[in-house]
Amino acid sequence: MEDIRNRVEAALEKVRPYLVADGGDIELVEVTEDNIVKVQLTGACHGCPFSMQTLKAGVEMAVKKEVPEIVEVIDISTQ
C-alpha cells in the first residue's frame, strides 16, 4: 500500500505546477484499501466552479496513467 501511495504522490507532483500556476494546490489525504484516492483541493481550486472538471479530466487522468490500480480520485472538501 505504501508503494501505491508513493506513486500517487509522484503523479500529483507532476500536476501540482499547473494547479499552483492558477493559485491552487492539492493535498493527498488518503489512498483507501479499495484504491480510491482522496485529495483536498486548496487555494483558488477550493470552491472553483471548474474544480470538478480539473479533478476528473486532469488530476484523475494523470494519477490513473501513473498508477493504473487507482479506481477513482475524489475531493473530500466537496463532501
**Model confidence over 52-63: pLDDT tens digits?**
888 888 999 999
May I ask the CATH architecture of the domain 2-78? 2-Layer Sandwich (3.30)
33's grid cell: 484499501
Give the whole-angstrom CA distance, residue 16 versus residue 31: 18
Tell me what pLDDT residue 79 has.
58
How far is CA 13 from each of CA 25, 36, 55, 79, rounded to the nearest angstrom? 10, 18, 14, 24
**Model confidence over 26-70: pLDDT tens digits?**
999 999 999 999 999 999 888 888 888 888 889 999 999 999 999
Q: How confident is the model at residue 14 (pLDDT cuts 50, 70, 90)?
A: very high
The overall pTM is greater than 0.85 = yes
Domain boundaries, the chain: 2-78
Determine contact, residues 9/66, Cβ cutoff 8 Å.
Answer: no
Tell me what pLDDT residue 2 has.
86
